[in-house]
Every structure is written in structure tokens, then in C-alpha cells.
Amino acid sequence: SLRAMASPPLEEHVFLVESFELIQQFGKQFQDKLCGVDMCVVQEHGCQHSCVSTPGSFHCECNPGYRLNADGKTCSPIDMCADGRHGCQHQCVSARGSYSCRCRPGYYLNQDKRSCTMIDYCSFGNHSCQHECVSIPNGHYCRCRSGFTLQPDSRSCRATDLCNGVDHGCEFKCVSTDGSYHCVCPEGQQLQADGKACS
């Protein structure tokens, strides 16, 4: 049909109305043959993840969490932590196509899965501090109230001024010394053998 239209004399064949109708039909047939074909099925596409057919061609796409490499066929995982938009308070851990937040030791992850709260080790009730327990990121320590000194066992407290911290029983006056105390009597009186009474 194309040869008949293009044969001499051209002015008698090409410009006929039937020729234009025929060309239109040919165009539709070509379009159906070329554009209606799934190019991903017809040829070896080489896409690592998925092939997407387009009219007369195709392109490769990657699964979520991956980006298409420069070769247009292979995919690389996206580091979701690298862009800094993860919102993790402490640490971001990349996973395949995703990420998760992690807290430093001594903290736990809150329900929002992003922020962290320090573990209150004092709330466990096993700290055995005589006065106060103070939580820190990796545990706890004991602290004494004002006027007391923490002892070498790091738990018990002793009054800095023992005369104010214990029931000394001195009849007249109590005098604190380093880690101890003793009683004294007024001038003219003598301390008795019990170390407390004066006479």
C-alpha cells in the first residue's frame, strides 16, 4: 500500500483522499505495535529492583529506601541517618530503607521513638543510701544532707559536727573533734568517769 501511494505519477497517488486515510491507519497500527508493548517484558531490562514500561521504552526504579545509581539500573541503600532529619535525640541507626533511634547507656527510648529519658536508678529501691540517692546516666550515687559527711562505704552519712548529730548526753558541753566528740565541764568542775557528768 505504501509503495502504491509513493509510485509515479505521485500527483495521482499521494494526494488522494484514500491515501491520507490509509496513512492514518498505518500510523495507528504502528502506534499500537510500538507503544502498546510492555518493553520490560519484550527485552532484557537489567533493572536490579523493578522495571517500569513507558511508550516505546522503559526505565528502572528502586524499592523504598534505595536510590537509583548513575548506571540507571542498580540501586544503593539510602542512609536515612546521614541527612540529619531523623529527629533522634541521641543516636540514629540506619536499617535497610529505614532507621531507628537508640539512646546512650543509662537512658531509655520514650514512646515517641525519638527522645530519651535518663533511667532513674534510685527508683529501683535497692540503692541503700542512708540519706539521698542521686541518679546519673550509668547508675547512682549517695549524697548526705547538709551538716553530714559521706562515709567511705559511699552509703552512710555521719554528722560533720557530731555534737549536733548524735545524742551525746554531755551534762554541760559537747566538743566535736574529727570523727568523734567529747564532753567538757565548766571551770571548777571535773568530768566524771562516765565521760558525761560533771562534779
Delimit the domains of the chain by residue range. 17-77, 79-118, 121-159, 161-198
Give residue 88's pLDDT.
Answer: 92
What distance in Å separates the CA atoms of residue 77 and residue 131, rounded to the nearest whole number? Answer: 54
What distance in Å separates the CA atoms of residue 74 and residue 48, rounded to the nearest whole number? Answer: 5
Q: What would the CATH number be for the domain defined by 79-118?
A: 2.10.25.10
C-alpha pair distances (Å), 140 with each of 125, 132, 133 = 11, 10, 7
CB atoms within 10 A of CB 142: 20
Per-residue pLDDT 10s for the chain (199 aa) are: 667 666 777 666 665 556 566 676 776 666 666 556 777 887 788 899 999 988 778 899 998 778 899 999 998 877 778 767 788 999 998 876 678 999 998 889 999 999 999 888 888 776 788 888 998 887 889 999 887 888 889 888 877 777 876 677 888 888 887 667 889 898 888 888 888 888 8
Q: Do the domains spanning 121-159 and 161-198 agree at the CATH topology level?
A: yes
Give residue 74's pLDDT.
Answer: 92
Architecture of domain 17-77: Ribbon (2.10)
Q: What would the CATH number be for the domain defined by 161-198?
A: 2.10.25.10
Give residue 55's pLDDT.
Answer: 77
Give residue 193's pLDDT.
Answer: 87
Bridge partners for 51 per DSSP: 60
Q: For 121-159, which CATH superfamily applies?
A: Laminin (2.10.25.10)
What distance in Å separates the CA atoms of residue 142 and residue 173, rounded to the nearest whole number? Answer: 32
What distance in Å separates the CA atoms of residue 149 and residue 176, rounded to the nearest whole number? Answer: 14
